[in-house]
């Protein structure tokens, strides 16, 4: 499936992106630490957003197949920038799922999250790690969570413009 997104630069480091199929428009601005005003998502914020929403969406697709309700699930993504060259250095995700820690679909849902298309698309060289909720943490026993950390390789090649 191919989707077209049209980007218009409106000046002062602001862009608007229009999603072809739906016509939905979102705005971007350069971040405060890179000459912008931080008035909207930065382009790299959208990468972090894509990762978090992809994790939630793919988990929900699989959960629905198994009649598991994930309403109330949250995903928190923390983006850390690196320099020389400026790039995303690390994306850390924390997923909180409103299910018991011993839920029979837990392993399937975790594998689904780690295999979401955005996670797989970021970089082949990235370091991936996960920390699960430990007993005695501040979270209620009726919920489980885990963290993943994605370190972006500084030697990543430029993306190919050839369709894959």
Q: What is the pLDDT along the chain (164 residues), one digit of tens a residue?
A: 899 999 999 999 999 999 999 999 999 999 999 999 999 999 999 999 999 999 999 999 999 999 999 999 999 999 989 888 888 888 889 999 999 888 999 999 999 998 999 988 886 544 444 444 434 444 333 455 666 565 554 333 333 333 32
Note the pLDDT of residue 131: 41
Note the pLDDT of residue 148: 58
Could you tell me if 90 and 143 lie in one domain? yes
DSSP designation for 155: T
Residue 162 lies in a domain: no
Note the pLDDT of residue 84: 85
HSE of 26 in the Cβ direction (CA atoms, 13 Å)?
12
Give CA–CA dist 82/137, Å, rounded.
31
Could you tell me if 21 and 79 lie in one domain? no
**Residues 6 or more apart from 112 whose CB is under 8 A from it?**
58, 59, 61, 62
Could you tell me if 15 and 32 lie in one domain? yes
Could you tell me if 3 and 63 lie in one domain? no
Could you tell me if 103 and 77 lie in one domain? yes
What is each CA distance from 36 to 45, 69, 129, in whole angstroms? Answer: 13, 40, 32
Q: Which helix (H) or strand (E) holds 113?
A: helix 106-114
Could you tell me if 26 and 72 lie in one domain? no
- Number of domains forming the structure of the chain: 2
Could you tell me if 119 and 70 lie in one domain? yes
Could you tell me if 79 and 114 lie in one domain? yes
Give CA–CA dist 33/27, Å, rounded.
18
Nearest CA-CA partner of 36 in 16, 12, 8: 12
**Whole-structure pTM value:** 0.79
Could you tell me if 29 and 64 lie in one domain? no
Can you give the residue range of the structural domain that contains 71?
43-151
């Amino acid at each position: 499936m191919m989707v077209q997104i049209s980007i218009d630069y409106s000046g002062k480091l602001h862009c608007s992106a229009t999603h072809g199929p739906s016509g939905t428009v979102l705005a971007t601005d350069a971040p405060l630490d890179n000459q912008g005003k931080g008035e909207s998502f930065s382009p790299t914020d959208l990468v972090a957003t894509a990762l978090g929403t992809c994790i939630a969406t793919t988990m929900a697709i699989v959960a629905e197949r198994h009649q598991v309700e994930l309403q109330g699930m949250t995903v928190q993504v923390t983006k850390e920038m690196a320099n020389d060259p400026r790039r995303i250095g690390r994306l850390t995700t924390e997923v909180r799922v409103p299910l018991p820690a011993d839920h029979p679909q837990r392993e399937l849902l975790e594998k689904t999250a780690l295999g979401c298309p955005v996670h797989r698309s970021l970089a082949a060289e990235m370091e991936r790690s996960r920390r699960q909720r430990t007993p005695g943490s501040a979270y209620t026993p009726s919920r489980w969570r885990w963290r993943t950390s994605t370190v972006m390789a500084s030697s990543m090649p430029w993306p190919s413009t050839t369709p894959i």
